[in-house]
Amino acid sequence: MTTRIYTINRALVVPLALNAVLLLTVLVLTFIRTGTAAERFLLAAALVPMAVVAVESSLRRVAVSDSGLALTKFFKQRALNWADITHVGALSVRRKVYLVLTTTKGFHVLSNAYGRFGDLVRDVLARMDAERVEEGAREILEAAGENRMNIFAAWIAAALLAAVAAMKIAS
């Protein structure tokens, strides 16, 4: 029995983690250098969700095996047997593409933020009966590529935070 593991694209996880570290750095610098209480509050308010997103994205996994899928999210694990998946659909919003798995107990969404998303889709679709796969889903999912815009935005944010940290150090 082979198991393939898919994680969030490392090209996205790295800048997210860097953003959290840079936010923490700027927050610490506001205590060392002159900083206002409002500045500290805003940085702390931005740091908490950024840290959660960075940690959650680094822990997110999908394991595809002969028996089904194992989805790991932030402190949650779900196991889906192939027989439990009643419908496979796809949703495309601009450059984001989502694989939607409907089960007897709810639904699960996998985005193209996962590295090797095309392989993940092929692994899932290969194990599903044709009647359970939405008609247009195969075309949408096969045409899906990586979403580079999120990666680009995360690196831009890192560059801006690095500039803010440099200005704090220089002041």
Q: What is the pLDDT of residues 20-42, one digit of tens each?
A: 999 999 999 999 988 889 999 99
Q: Count other C-beta atoms under 10 Å from residue 38's C-beta.
A: 8
Considering only residues 118 and 156, tell me which one the structure prediction assigns the higher pLDDT.
156
Return the bridge partners of 96, or none: 93
Return the bridge partners of 70, or none: 63, 79
How large is the average pLDDT for residues 63-68?
92
- pLDDT band at residue 161 under the 50/70/90 scheme: very high
DSSP 107: E
Q: Count H helices and E strands in the chain, helices first.
A: 5, 7
How large is the average pLDDT for residues 43-52?
96
pLDDT in the model for residue 145: 66
Return the bridge partners of 79, or none: 70
pTM of full prediction above 0.95: no
CA distances from 164 to 101, 153, 161, 170 (A): 42, 17, 5, 10
pLDDT by residue (tens digit) across 67-91? Answer: 999 999 888 899 999 999 999 998 8
What span, in angstroms and rounded, lies between the C-alpha atoms of 134 and 112? 18
CA distances from 70 to 18, 58, 76 (A): 28, 16, 10
Question: Is there a contact between 57 and 8 (Cβ–Cβ < 8 Å)?
Answer: yes
Q: What is the domain extent for residue 64?
A: 4-170
Query: pLDDT > 90: what percent of the chain?
Result: 57
- pLDDT band at residue 163 under the 50/70/90 scheme: very high
What span, in angstroms and rounded, lies between the C-alpha atoms of 134 and 139? 10
Give the tokens for residue 68.
Answer: 């089904």
Domains: count for the chain: 1
Q: Percent helix, strand and coil across the chain, each rounded to 5?
A: 55, 25, 20
pLDDT in the model for residue 93: 84
pLDDT by residue (tens digit) across 86-143? Answer: 999 988 888 788 899 999 888 999 988 888 888 888 889 888 888 888 877 777 776 7
CA distances from 44 to 48, 49, 71, 124 (A): 6, 9, 31, 40
